[in-house]
Structure 1
Amino acid sequence: MTVAALTPPDPVADPPSGRRLVVMVVTIQFAACLGFFSVMAHLVAHLRHDLGLLAGTVGLILGVRVGLQFALLLPVGAVTDLLGARRTGVIACVLRALGFGLLGVADGVGGLLGAAVVLAVGGALYNPAAQSLLAGVGPARRAGGFAAYVGAQHIATVVGPPVGLVLLSLGPGFVLLAGAAAAMWTVSAVLFLLLPHSGRKPAPARFGDILTGVRRVLGDRTFVLFALMTAPTSLLANHIMTAVPLLGFTPAAATLSFSVLAAVAAAAQPFVAAGRRGERPWVLRLGLLCAAATFFVLAPLDGTQAGPLMVAAVLNGVSNGLVQPAIFQRAARHAPPERFGSYYGVLAFCAGMFSCAADLLIGRLFDLGPTGATAALIGVGTFALVAAIGTRGP
């Protein structure tokens, strides 16, 4: 799962089509996501088994990263509008590289929380930067550009976990894996530097302008209601990567399920992009219903039933393939072009706060044993059902 600027976003060097910009942003996305998902697919197992942390502590670390990242999007979305997407993207990637480096060497809760904070700040800056660039191209290319952008993410999700598994099998183990992720984010920073300059400096960031941008979005009641009803979407997209290892599935089974999920999601992208189909309300509702089904299938599993796990992976892949582009296309259509960063910030803030609170609660439920785990997963599926029923505009 960016919204508009208080000053015009960085102009594209080839404005007639935006093709060059789209290609470069998609390349950045692939490099960054390859590093991210190669680590995240194995992070829970590392924290749980290598470092011996309780499930509740694992949930705390994951929740801090997600919650802080999305909390920061409330102001950072507007800051991106003021600083310019290119400059913001470089800073984001440098911070993410540093965060993964710290994650590789941390062996205590304090160090892990520090790495989570740095990763959160970098992620908060990255998403508005990348998606603001895509939102700035013409409507005809915007849907296809975002489909390619999300498709790159899903391809990296397919490739990342096996790459991570290979790196884990080598001598340094998780240290090498985290270092490789840091290298990929460094490459992304360099690619942001290679994006064309706008030829004029962005306006100086003023605190009052940031507040004004946020206030104007909060005054848009239709959009705020949409943001609140779609708040569970980040949890629905990401929690399967936490739930599967905690249910006791082997790293190989978890890696296979994540790869299937990503492949299905990537296959759904052309369907959503065609004819700007993602702007239609039924696409988002169908995606949310598939998410609900995912967690209802996972709820009774104990780590030995590979068949149902693959069914859940397919359902979650369909959900991700429909929900992410549907939310982007509807937000980009509704938000004024000059304020996309601010709108995205409010949307992502709601999703992040919900995900943070839910991760903390779900981690504690998993610590209660199989009954708690089942209750947690049924609860996540129920959130998806409520969102599907309540979602309206914008």
Structure 2
Amino acid sequence: MTVAAPASAPVPADPAPGPSGRRVVVTVVAIQLAACLGFFAVTAHLVAHLRHDLGLAAGTVGLVLGVRVGLQFGLLLPVGAVTDLLGARTTGVLSCVLRALGFVILGSAGSVGGLLCASVALAMGGALYNPSVHSLLAAVGPDGRSGGFAGYVVAQHVATIAGPPMGLLLLATGPGFALLTGTAAALWTVAGVLFLLLPRSARKRVPAGGRAVLAGVRTVLGDRVFLYFTLLTAPTTLLAGHIMTAVPLLGFAPAAATLSFSVLAMVAAAVQPFVAAGRRGERPWVLRLGLTCAAAAFFVLAALDGGQPGPLLLAAVLNGVANGLIQPAVFQRTARHAPRERFGSYYGVLEGCSGMFAFAGDLVVGRLFDLGQAGAAGAMLGVGLFALLAALGTFRVE
């Protein structure tokens, strides 16, 4: 028995993007470039800072990182519907304010309590940011949506390539990590200003009221086809982001880790236009292949017993292909299936479940790394197995 994919649900045809739609796409791409440049400049070196500068155990590092991921995506359950209520423009500005504040706190924190406060602020900002930009792109019509999302993801990957080296340069200065986080806060402030430049049409989407928020969540929870798709894609957040945690914990030097992240981003950016063309992301094989490549990447990492650069770069290439296929596939299927006025609600439930999975995974993986080489290998095998099971699950999707 197969289950109809979200991409196949009948929805009214969307109009082609006009001048306002093109303005939204260009502005969102610029927002993404500024925000991600700040984010990846810090996160590429955060594990090393927590582990070596502050002397935290791997399990504690996993807790700090897991709180941000778990809270951020857990909040998406209600925040996605709130985005439908307030509008993407308003929630986007709020997200940038919170993210900037979180990076400032992160740069000055010297205790676990301070780090957790920074994680909470970063999580709240991230929970508001993701549904706002995705809602803006989903509203511009199918043709503009595909091209806009391609530009959005390419901007993310450009920032992934440029961010880590920029972080290394900033770390080499006197202030070090504090200057790095301050620069990230400034870039998120720029992103907030860009949100204010969006047209007024990017404001409210549904009538105001608390019942509207609850109604949005209830609509999604009553959609069994989409809930199956949500379960299927639950591991994707862990698969996309965990390599940036795993590589430093596996003992690779900052230069090798930075190179692997840059290779990953370049490969993903090269794959992305192919998926966007002709809306290929709506086809089941795209998601299946992406999940299979992600599984293979973590299986390669599990086999490492030292700092071999060759297998590390192979894992980076596989993970890059996976990200280039999975991200547009999930977005295009969700945007095709969800009613335009409820996209935030659908996206919130989808990403909320994926984030909670990532939160649990980060906690477990961090503990396993504390057990030594065998624990680290088991952690990577476990992550890869989840990806493989999800790939097998796509055969039930038409």
* 1:94 equivalent in structure 2: 97
* 1:169 equivalent in structure 2: 172
- The percentage of counterpart residues that share the same residue type is 74
Deviations 1:232-269 (A, max 9, x none): 00000000000000000000000000000000000001
Using the TM superposition, give the Cα deviation of residue 377 of structure 1 relative to its aligned residue in structure 2, in angstroms: 0.2
For 2:66, the aligned partner's letter is: G
Alpha carbons 1:83, 1:204 under 8 Å: kept: no
Alpha carbons 1:79, 1:205 under 8 Å: kept: no
- Report matched runs for 1:230-309 at 5 Å: 230-309=233-312
The TM-score with structure 2 as length reference comes to 0.94
Alpha carbons 2:205, 2:341 under 8 Å: kept: no
* 2:159 equivalent in structure 1: 156
What CA distance in whole angstroms lies between the structure 1 residues aligned with 2:345 and 2:18? 23
* 1:364 equivalent in structure 2: 367
* 1:141 equivalent in structure 2: 144
What CA distance in whole angstroms lies between the structure 1 residues aligned with 2:343 and 2:361? 27
- Report matched runs for 1:296-375 at 5 Å: 296-375=299-378
* 2:10 equivalent in structure 1: none
Secondary structure of the residue that 1:198 maps to in structure 2?
helix
Q: Give 5+ residue unaligned stretches, structure 1.
A: 4-11
Structure-2 change in CA distance of 1:113 and 1:134 (3 Å): same
* 1:8 equivalent in structure 2: none
Alpha carbons 2:290, 2:323 under 8 Å: kept: yes
Q: Give 5+ residue unaligned stretches, structure 2.
A: 1-5, 7-14
Deviations 1:21-52 (A, max 9, x none): 10010000000000000000000000000000
Secondary structure of the residue that 1:171 maps to in structure 2?
coil
What CA distance in whole angstroms lies between the structure 1 residues aligned with 2:305 and 2:133? 39
Using the TM superposition, give the Cα deviation of residue 361 of structure 1 relative to its aligned residue in structure 2, in angstroms: 0.5
* 2:51 equivalent in structure 1: 48
For 2:120, the aligned partner's letter is: V
Alpha carbons 1:34, 1:184 under 8 Å: kept: yes
Alpha carbons 1:103, 1:178 under 8 Å: kept: yes
Structure-2 change in CA distance of 1:334 and 1:368 (3 Å): same
The TM-score with structure 1 as length reference comes to 0.95
For 1:256, the aligned partner's letter is: L
Secondary structure of the residue that 1:181 maps to in structure 2?
helix
* 1:6 equivalent in structure 2: none
- Report matched runs for 1:210-229 at 5 Å: 210-229=213-232
What CA distance in whole angstroms lies between the structure 2 residues aligned with 1:80 and 1:318? 31
Using the TM superposition, give the Cα deviation of residue 78 of structure 1 relative to its aligned residue in structure 2, in angstroms: 0.4
Using the TM superposition, give the Cα deviation of residue 202 of structure 1 relative to its aligned residue in structure 2, in angstroms: 6.0
Does 1:33 find its partner at 2:47? no
What CA distance in whole angstroms lies between the structure 1 residues aligned with 2:148 and 2:91? 20
For 1:215, the aligned partner's letter is: R
For structure 1, which segment, 28-37 or 384-393, has the greater mean C-alpha deviation from structure 2 after superposition? 384-393
Secondary structure of the residue that 2:201 maps to in structure 1?
coil
What CA distance in whole angstroms lies between the structure 2 residues aligned with 1:144 and 1:202? 23
Deviations 1:326-356 (A, max 9, x none): 0000111111111100000010011001000
Alpha carbons 2:298, 2:383 under 8 Å: kept: yes
RMSD of aligned residue pairs (Cα, Å): 1.6
For 1:188, the aligned partner's letter is: A
* 1:188 equivalent in structure 2: 191
Alpha carbons 1:22, 1:145 under 8 Å: kept: yes
Using the TM superposition, give the Cα deviation of residue 204 of structure 1 relative to its aligned residue in structure 2, in angstroms: 6.3
What CA distance in whole angstroms lies between the structure 1 residues aligned with 2:307 and 2:239? 23
For 1:222, the aligned partner's letter is: V
* 1:66 equivalent in structure 2: 69
How many matched pairs?
A: 383
**Aligned with 2:80 (options 77, 80, 100):** 77
Using the TM superposition, give the Cα deviation of residue 393 of structure 1 relative to its aligned residue in structure 2, in angstroms: 4.0
Using the TM superposition, give the Cα deviation of residue 156 of structure 1 relative to its aligned residue in structure 2, in angstroms: 0.3
Alpha carbons 1:167, 1:177 under 8 Å: kept: yes
* 2:129 equivalent in structure 1: 126
Alpha carbons 1:100, 1:179 under 8 Å: kept: yes
Alpha carbons 2:136, 2:202 under 8 Å: kept: no
Using the TM superposition, give the Cα deviation of residue 18 of structure 1 relative to its aligned residue in structure 2, in angstroms: 1.6
Using the TM superposition, give the Cα deviation of residue 199 of structure 1 relative to its aligned residue in structure 2, in angstroms: 9.0
Alpha carbons 2:157, 2:268 under 8 Å: kept: yes
Secondary structure of the residue that 2:352 maps to in structure 1?
helix
Alpha carbons 2:87, 2:203 under 8 Å: kept: no
